[in-house]
Amino acid sequence: MVGRTGSVHPVRNPKVEGPKLTFEDGPGQWHVMVKDRKLTGQAPDGPLSGVPAPTLNHAPPSAWSNPEPLFNSRDLTGWAPDNPAANHWIAGSGELQNLQAGANIHTTRQFDDFKLHIEYNCPLGGNSGVYLRGRYEVQVEYEPAGKNDAFHAMGSIYGFIPPASVVAARPGQWESYDVTLVGRTVSVVRDGVLIIDKLEIPGITGGALDSLEGQPGPIYLQGDHTGGLKYRNITISVPQR
C-alpha cells in the first residue's frame, strides 16, 4: 500500500476469496472487488475505485534536446506552491530556497520523458525530495544516522529502489542529481556516481500529486518536511524523436 503520505508498506491480514479482497490498513478494513479489470469497493474513509496502472514501455529517445533552465535564478517565475498560504520558498542570488517547513513547490510546465539536472544543498537534519512528474520521489535527506534504511536514504526512489552505491555525505554543501526518466525506467547519477541504473519504478511514491501515471507531470520539490533546503541550476532536456 502507498498512502497519500508516507512510504510503501505491507497491509495487514489480506484475504482473497475469488474476486474479493479484504485487508487492513490504517484505521480500518478495506473491501475490494475485481471485475472487468476494474476495482471497486470500500476504504475506511469512503468508496474506492481503480484501474490497472499503465506499463509505460517507452522506447529510449534517439536524441535529447539541449538543456533548458527551469529556474531563472531570480524569482519564482515558472513555479507554483501547492499551498500559497504556507509558502516559504524564495528565490534570488541563483538559489531557490525553502526558509521553513510549509508548502511544496512545482513547475507550471509538465513533462513526459526527460533528463533532469538539479543541484541541492541539504542541511544536517534536512528532509526534502525531488518528485519526477510529481509522482516518483528521489529522496533528499540528511536526517539522524539510523533513521532511514537504504530504501529511504539520500538518492533512493523513496521506498522502492535503494541507491546501489554509497556517496559520502556532505550536509550543508552543494551536490547534484542527474536523473533520466523514460516511461517507468529511471537512472540517477549523484555527484558523478551512478547510483540507480535503468531500473523500473513500480508505482507512485507517498506524497505524489496524483496517480495518473500515464500523463505528463511537473518537477515537484518537497517543502513540507523541513526548511533550510536550497536548489539551483535546474535544467531539463526532452526527447527529440
My answer on whether 21 and 87 are in the same domain is no
* Residues 132 and 232 reside in one and the same domain: yes
C-alpha 175/C-alpha 14 separation (Å) is 42
Provide the pLDDT for residue 241.
Answer: 74
Q: At 184, is the pLDDT very low, low, confident or very high (cuts 50, 70, 90)? A: very high
- Is the pLDDT at 49 greater than 80, yes or no? yes
User: How much is the pLDDT for 145?
Assistant: 87
Write the DSSP assignment of 98-156 as a string of letters.
E-SS---EEESS-BSSEEEEEEEE--TT-EEEEEETTTEEEEEE-PPTTSS-GGGSTTS
Residues 28-53 have a mean pLDDT of: 96
Q: State mean pLDDT over 185-210.
A: 97
For the domain that residue 152 is a member of, what is the CATH number? 2.60.120.560
Instruction: Evaluate if residue 113 carries a pLDDT over 80.
Output: yes
149 and 223: one domain? yes
Is 203 found in the same domain as 126? yes
Structural domains in the chain (count): 2
Whether the pLDDT of residue 239 is over 90: the answer is yes
pLDDT tens digits, 127-163: 999 999 999 999 999 999 889 999 999 999 999 999 9
Same domain, 28 and 133: no
Is 56 contained in some domain?
A: no
Rounded mean pLDDT of the chain?
Answer: 97
Residue 4 covered by a domain: no
Mean pLDDT of 220-228: 97
Query: Do 36 and 96 share a domain, yes or no?
Result: no
> Are residues 107 and 74 located together in one domain of the fold?
yes
Domain match, 138 and 38 both: no
Q: What is the pLDDT of residues 159-175, one digit of tens each?
A: 999 999 999 999 999 99
- Do residues 122 and 167 lie in contact, with contact meaning Cβ atoms separated by under 8 Å? no
78 plus 156 within the same structural domain: yes
Q: How far is 51 from 33, CA to CA, in rounded Å? A: 12
Domain of 37 in residue numbering reads as 12-50
Q: Report how far apart, in Å, the C-alpha atoms of 47 and of each of 1, 43, 50 are.
A: 16, 6, 11
Q: What is the pLDDT of residue 146?
A: 87
My answer on whether 39 and 86 are in the same domain is: no
Residues 24 and 137 in one domain: no
* Portion of the chain with pLDDT greater than 70, in percent: 100
Chain centroid, CA 117 distance in Å = 15
Overall average pLDDT of the 228-233 stretch: 98
